[in-house]
Amino acid sequence: MAVDAIVLRKVREAKAPVPRKLVPLLRYLLFHIYFVPTSIVLLPIYLIRSILPFLRQDPRWSFLQNLSVLYVRRVIRVYCRLRTQPIQPREDGWRESNSHLGTLLEFANMSGPGGRVIVHPKEAIQAAEQAAGKRTDRVWIDPPPLEAFRGILTINTAGPGKGFAHCKTYAGPPLVEPGFAKVRTRCFWFMHKDGLRPPHRSEKKKRDRPVILYFHGGAGVTFGAGDPFMGQCLAVNMAHTTGIDVFSVDYLLAPTSRWPGHIVQALAGWFYLTRELGYDPSQIIIGGDSFGGALTLQLTRYLLTDFPSYEGYDVESAAARKGEKPGALLLLSPFCDARNDGDNVPPCYAVNHKRDIILLAYGEWGHDAQGVFYGAENQKRCPIGKADPWFSQVLLPDAELAEYPPMYVMNGGNELLIDQGHEFVARARKAGAVNVAHDVVEHGVHDYWTLHTFLPEARESYSRFKKWWSTVERTQSHL
């Protein structure tokens, strides 16, 4: 399919968005100036509340679990108050160099030196030096081809709120800015065993192992694919326990990326795995936690509704792949109901807001930064409401949900999103979706997979997912 000449010209003239540096740096410094001394003052109180079981938020937690939850709660709340974000990567930036300076800058930014994050800075520097010139755990990938920018990803050539795009799931002004069609994306490989070389595009062979295409959480405004929480804790543990390689997309954060920019970068990851590396869609498990869970569902919706009409591959290849449906979805604490906010609290809020690490204002900050819902300018640019299935997947039409691949949903019983998880699973099963599992760790908090103090619980969850996926693979082999 030919690309419209106006789109070609606008994209050619546009510049890819460049993440800001100064403002995030100042806010990051302000965060530490406030957080460190106040945390030291609060330490005796937190210790007492963690040592005595009857003072813990959940008596089932250990001393270290309670202490970690208290501090992570503070981190998230101060993040929201100060709008603290990491400084986002640039492909040719200092932090991308394999050197002492690059590694130290990554650690100062809470990012880590690469796909296999080393906790101790001295070890990290040694690892970076040894990898110099042969770095394979971190790659930068191209944006999707212009032919794929259709439907909800139609490029706007007339200005915010102007023009018209129409597809099965959306009718309104085009939403993707021309410059976003030029964005290259940093990604990390987390291999199922340390020391393994990640797949490379130069290897022309059929892939014989599954892979997890992963999107980290953080409300679309915080954290990163290679940081100590999403990288060292969640992704490394996931890859090692499941025995499946993880390809984690380090998408740009809002407001650098306004919705649906994150879907564009998620699609770039899909293109890289299927077109560049040769994975069959049935081998790909799309997964994500929190905001990444929402992004997982959004990418899947795009693939199942807008993407089938894409003509960027030959007929034989398309037939061999049997469409573009992933093998399964892995949803960790998915944020799948945008209607939950300060004016519409979920039933679990009465108890869980005292235990969970996040607050509802976290999601509100994320949506505001993404340019949706709030303010006349945002509504003009993106006239999609909170109840639209693009943002509240619990409201996806039955006919769509029935076509989704097998899904494995995980939640913590103490989290603010537990009701969303229950509702989404119930809706999917009622709609006729095949093989929808729901794994709830009753004493877990939101995104407990990112906390080192909950590693045993996370490993048990991943082990159960591993068994579930083996049954899915066996079913697929008989089709």
Helix (H) or strand (E) holding 328: strand 328-332
| CA dist., res. 404 & res. 191, Å (int) | 27
Give the pLDDT band (50/70/90) at residue 20: confident
Mean pLDDT over 89-106 rounds to 69
What tokens appear for 258 in the block? 């306004």
Please state, in angstroms and rounded to a whole number, the distance separating the CA atoms of residues 287 and 213: 6
pLDDT, one tens digit per residue, over 406-457 is: 999 999 999 999 999 999 999 999 999 999 999 999 999 999 999 999 999 9
Class of the CATH-defined domain 138-477:
alpha beta
Write down the number of H helices and E strands in the chain.
15, 10
Judged against a pLDDT cut of 70, whether residue 251 lies above it is answered with yes
Per-domain residue ranges of the chain: 138-477
d(CA 359, CA 448): 15
Contact 255, 184 (CB under 8 A): no
Q: Quick one: pLDDT at residue 310?
A: 53
- Per-residue confidence (pLDDT) for residue 51, from 0 to 100: 96
Pair type for strands 185-190 and 138-141: antiparallel
In contact, 178 and 159? CB cutoff 8 Å: no
CB 407 within 8 A of CB 437: yes
How distant, in Å, are the alpha carbons of 295, 389, 443 from that of 183?
18, 26, 40
Residue 83 exposed, middle or buried by CB count within 10 Å (0-12, 13-18, 19+)? middle
Q: 238 to each of 135, 229, 233, 465, how far by Cα in Å?
A: 22, 12, 8, 10
CB 179 within 8 A of CB 328: no
65-83: pLDDT as tens digits: 999 999 999 999 999 999 9
DSSP assignment letter at 275: I
DSSP annotation of 191 reads -
Neighbours of 262 (CB within 10 A): 24
All residues at 6 or more sequence positions from 16 whose CB lies less than 8 Å from its CB, including other chains: 179, 180, 182, 183, 184
DSSP state for residue 139 in the 8-state scheme: E
For residue 135, the model assigns a pLDDT of 59
Q: Which residue has the higher pLDDT, 368 or 97?
A: 368
For residues 213 and 226, give the distance between their C-alpha atoms in angstroms, rounded to a whole number.
Answer: 14
Highest mean pLDDT among 122-126, 157-161, 385-389: 385-389
Distance in angstroms (rounded) separating the CA atoms of residues 276 and 200: 8
**Residue 434 CB neighbour total at 10 angstroms:** 14
Contacts of 256 (CB under 8 A, 6+ apart): 17, 18, 19, 20, 88
pLDDT tens across 284-309, in order? 999 999 999 999 999 999 999 988 65
Mean pLDDT rounded to a whole number for the chain: 88
Lowest-confidence range among 120-134, 168-182, 282-296? 120-134
